Structure 1
Amino acid sequence: MNSNHIRWKPKSEEERQSQRLQQIKTVYLIGTDEKSLAPRLTAKSWIVVDSNSGDVLYAYNENQRREIASITKIMTFYVVLSMCKTMNVQTNNTYAEVSLQASLVGGTTANLLKGDILSIDDLFYGLMLPSGNDAAMTFAENFGIYAMYQNKIKGNNPIIYFIQEMNNKARELRMTQTTYANPHGLNNKNNLSSAYDVAKLCNQLLKDDFFKKVVNTKIHFCTIQDEEGFTRDVMWENTNKLLYQGFRGIKTGNTSVAGPCLASYYQSNNRSFTIVILGCRNQEDRWSETMQLVQWCLSQIQ
């Protein structure tokens, strides 16, 4: 047969996009096309993943184990959400009480006080928007008790068993570079994950509408009852500045050891990306470098 007579079937838009994404991967494996090279970043490790398929589009040191600061709270959210679904808990009218220990934890806070009572729904917002370490401890204490009951364990430290559940969930999701040592992400040499594992966890939670709603909320108002029975109104503002620049969450993080970190979700038309950057040079770089990665990815598939 004369090859001049062969006519190939035109590629669909889906096939063309798939080919473009494969070209992106090839550029980074070979590194020959200067115009297609991604911007240089200060982050120690990072990854860009297709939020729908889970395909890795671009990554650097994505499996490097590092402290991840308050990015840890994404797993805290996941564990509590999973427990609530298992127990058929109505999170809008089920309440948790804040202990003295939770109210005194250091770092970023939702300004919770000993004896405060608030709904599980509101506590989710206090965990994710102001990055409340006190909210994380309150979850660990209250839901750690359920973990003990579920596993028929006798003890007096429910936080240990909540952290155990965090690690169980990590194993279920095959987050092979991850171990949790606390529910909030304060400095701990054993509280480690990787950009790849964090992206995997984010994509799992992005299947849940409530999670997507919480992390995409800029400001949340709630009413808290104190230990005297009086109520006060509080306002929490999301620490994620990229919400004002077209992004849709997910979580910030920063400690002296982990450095500035950011897990983000970006959606535009039919494209969506999960971006995780860990260990940036400074807090401002985590915003600009995430923006650069998204803009670069969009430029490569247009």
Structure 2
Amino acid sequence: MKYIKNIFIKIIAINMILLLTIYLFPFTAQARVLQNQPSIKSPSAILIDASSCKVLYEKNAHQRLEPASVAKIMTLLIAFEAIEKGKANFNDQVKVSERAWKTGGSQVFLGPGEVQTLETLLKCIVISSANDASVAVAEHIGGSVEGFVRMMNEKAKELGLKNTNFTNPHGLSDPNLYTTAYDIAIIAKELIKYPKFFEWSTKLVDYLEHTDKKREPTMLANTNKLLGKYEGLDGIKTGYHEKAGFCFVGSAKRGDLRLISVVMNAASSNDRFEDTKKLLDYGFGYFNSVTVAKKGATVKRIKVEKGLQKDIEIVYKEDKSVLVEKGKENEITTKIEIPDKIIAPVKKGEKVGVLKVYQENKEIGQVDLVAKQDVKKITYFDILKNLIRGLL
């Protein structure tokens, strides 16, 4: 009996040692990552990889909240898309309406009837969070504020955002205006595709020259207090009113890794920026990005049969990066699948092959490989012309 009792005690002791070992010394990198997640004060927050949209941290990320001026990132996205599609131009002359002039909250003091370029108004929104400029932009692109708000909500639906509803282009308080940290992160991911945005978001100070030259220029002061104080940080948007609390959408890039953080409803301005630093520190501390494809970069040249050209350049269709835990970069491998030759005609952008991406020998993604230029099919006349040229 004493022998059995001793064995039982040893078994209990061994199990306790194992449990303590697992608790005190997690044996996987994933466990270490989870154990070191930041402590965030703000009621709602999220951190994502901008390339893959993978969520690295979240806290009440799908809770509906008022976004205050953070709503303007959708206003900016709609404007940039309209310019990209040729429906608007940075040089468009925009006349400031009385409605825009009367808009309360943060302003750059545009006068009624004042004319500014669309580019200038967008700069005012990015740097100084100008509500009057937001209304002027909305009326110019949407035909009216109401028409522009419809565009904002249509875009939210297109992006698959189920917890977002806009009622104005500036974010002033409205019980029917709401979004979430997650939805804001997705909008921000779309906005930062436009390099022009960063020309303004990284400026600490600028000036607005008014149409009425008798007026002094309005100073545009950036409200992003992390600019120049956090490595790699280059945007995106602050927001505040009493109901929304202090909000901030951050973006920072180090190497090939770009992170987007969102903090909502913080109790103070200091809290939103401190929480942002904690989120970004966590992301850069435990994750890395491995670039496997660069849009437009040459993969190889392959032969073209029956074409006016003997060969053609094959390029990556898009950028592709893979997020991995630090120390696991070597787990990422790639394989190119492409024919030795193709037959003309070939159109620019036509898919010719594929790059397959693997992690620990498991396929995790693909990138299309496309023709860099057109190659016309050779005709009998082309053959005859080449023959004559050869004889001469």
**TM-score of Structure 1 vs Structure 2, range by shorter chain:** 0.7 to 0.9
- From 149, 153, 172, the counterpart of 1:167: 153
Name the residue aligned to 2:61.
62
Alignment of 1:120-139 (within 5 A): 120-139=118-137
Paired residues of 1:221 and 1:233 also in contact (CA < 8 A): yes
Question: Is 2:284 the counterpart of 1:298?
Answer: yes
Paired residues of 1:24 and 1:300 also in contact (CA < 8 A): no
Question: Is 2:105 the counterpart of 1:98?
Answer: no
The C-alpha deviation readout for 1:213-264, integer Å capped at 9, x for no partner, is: 22222222342313xx767533312111111213100000001111000001
Name the residue aligned to 1:260.
246
Letter in 1 for 2:276: T
Name the residue aligned to 1:154.
none
Shift of 1:110: 1.5
- Higher mean displacement: 136-145 or 43-52: 136-145
Name the residue aligned to 2:38.
38
Name the residue aligned to 2:108.
110
Name the residue aligned to 1:11.
none
- Higher mean displacement: 159-168 or 268-277: 268-277
Name the residue aligned to 1:155.
none
Shift of 1:212: 2.6
Alignment of 1:84-95 (within 5 A): 84-91=83-90, 93-95=91-93
Question: Is 2:272 the counterpart of 1:286?
Answer: yes
Normalising by structure 1, report the TM-score.
0.80
Shift of 1:207: 1.2
Cα gap change, 1:230 to 1:243, in 2 (>3 Å): same
Shift of 1:42: 2.2
Letter in 2 for 1:292: K
Question: Is 2:272 the counterpart of 1:274?
Answer: no
Name the residue aligned to 1:3.
none
Query: Whole-Å Cα distance in 1 between the matches of residues 194 and 108 of structure 2?
Result: 24
- Higher mean displacement: 257-266 or 74-83: 74-83
Question: Is 2:217 the counterpart of 1:233?
Answer: yes
Cα gap change, 1:267 to 1:101, in 2 (>3 Å): same
- From 138, 145, 169, the counterpart of 1:183: 169
Q: Percent identity?
A: 29
Query: Whole-Å Cα distance in 1 between the matches of residues 190 and 32 of structure 2?
Result: 24
Query: Whole-Å Cα distance in 1 between the matches of residues 123 and 221 of structure 2?
Result: 9
Shift of 1:45: 0.6
Paired residues of 1:95 and 1:119 also in contact (CA < 8 A): yes
- Higher mean displacement: 65-74 or 109-118: 109-118
Greater share of residues in strand = 2
Shift of 1:86: 2.4
Normalising by structure 2, report the TM-score.
0.63
Letter in 1 for 2:222: N
Letter in 2 for 1:174: G
Shift of 1:269: 2.2
Aligned-partner SS, 1:211 = helix
Name the residue aligned to 2:80.
81
Cα gap change, 1:276 to 1:24, in 2 (>3 Å): farther
Paired residues of 2:223 and 2:238 also in contact (CA < 8 A): yes
Shift of 1:137: 0.9
Shift of 1:175: 1.2
Aligned-partner SS, 1:224 = coil
Shift of 1:101: 1.6
Shift of 1:82: 1.6
Name the residue aligned to 1:15.
none
Shift of 1:112: 1.3
Paired residues of 1:67 and 1:193 also in contact (CA < 8 A): yes
- Higher mean displacement: 175-184 or 78-87: 78-87
Greater share of residues in helix = 1
Alignment of 1:207-218 (within 5 A): 207-218=193-204
Shift of 1:198: 0.5
Please tell me whether Structure 1 or Structure 2 has the larger radius of gyration of its CA atoms: 2
Letter in 2 for 1:73: K
Name the residue aligned to 2:8.
none
Paired residues of 1:252 and 1:261 also in contact (CA < 8 A): yes
How many residues get paired? 259
Letter in 2 for 1:124: L
Shift of 1:37: 3.3
**Structure 2: which 5+ runs fail to align?**
1-27, 288-325, 327-392
Query: Whole-Å Cα distance in 2 between the matches of residues 210 and 222 of structure 1?
Result: 18
Shift of 1:129: 1.1
**Structure 1: which 5+ runs fail to align?**
1-18, 28-32, 146-157
Cα gap change, 1:194 to 1:126, in 2 (>3 Å): same
Aligned-partner SS, 2:107 = coil
Query: Whole-Å Cα distance in 2 between the matches of residues 117 and 170 of structure 1?
Result: 30
- Higher mean displacement: 292-301 or 165-174: 292-301
Name the residue aligned to 2:210.
224
